[in-house]
Structure 1
């Protein structure tokens, strides 16, 4: 399984492509809003998480990147835009407890995935070749990361802001699964 790891260059290229796509998307949205009204992207999982100990879990294992649509909320860039869009101004920071809480959950997800990898490695050595446990664990981690991001956004900004964002931009951001995310938030909250 280790021989299937993407190179640093490939991870960087995917990151850069996601960032370019986000920039283009935000410019397109801003071009469609009333004059003088703009939005700014808000990463539901802060960028600091991606550059620390969980970068490999998020970008290599899950193949998620911080600027991808699933991790992006669009918030008002200023007070005028906030009034027009009925969305809060981008806060520019995160609640103090968000990053430590996210790190706690990501550590749990990483531990679950590591245990599944160890099982799979042992099964390969014995000739059993059981990759289903790792595949299921990876699917669970990916689903939990999505739910965690959306849950934290709703907690940090409020359910009403989260739902307003989904109504305005959810489908445009490629969130056809938004209803399922709303349902899965309870699983993260209870962890």
Structure 2
């Protein structure tokens, strides 16, 4: 799979990540265990989406008025700084990134050096870009794996929830969330009958996910 071809344009991607973050909030009451998350006001003029699989791999997406950038880290990749004799970013990953987007990663919470691939797109661009990186034969930067965790259809998310959270979700309700239908208490209860629906609703409100 070509990871870049699989990516939707930034606004669609942002909506997808908001939907998945809202669903994870409903399905899991422990914030650090959630697979998908979204912070509307992460930094000034910047919102952040994150995929974190709990096994040491992550994908961070930053959306701004200047454009969008994502930094991925596959801890088993040969391109990981931790796999080098001297801890350093693999050559080429950041070389071609526009400075105004690369600067978005200059934040202690991002851990810029923990990276195996970087993808970006200025707002005026018609496609996503990825650095020219020479990889050892048989190496994998983790981009297909991590971008594959952006579930672009309700059916894909339902399968993910079954595998990861061991929950069977009503696909018609997940479809509503994906379509941007305002989440209601009834929808929360249908998705996760065991949760404290009022508390979940308040958390979704406080996170500006509804």
TM-score (norm 2): 0.28
TM-score (norm 1): 0.30
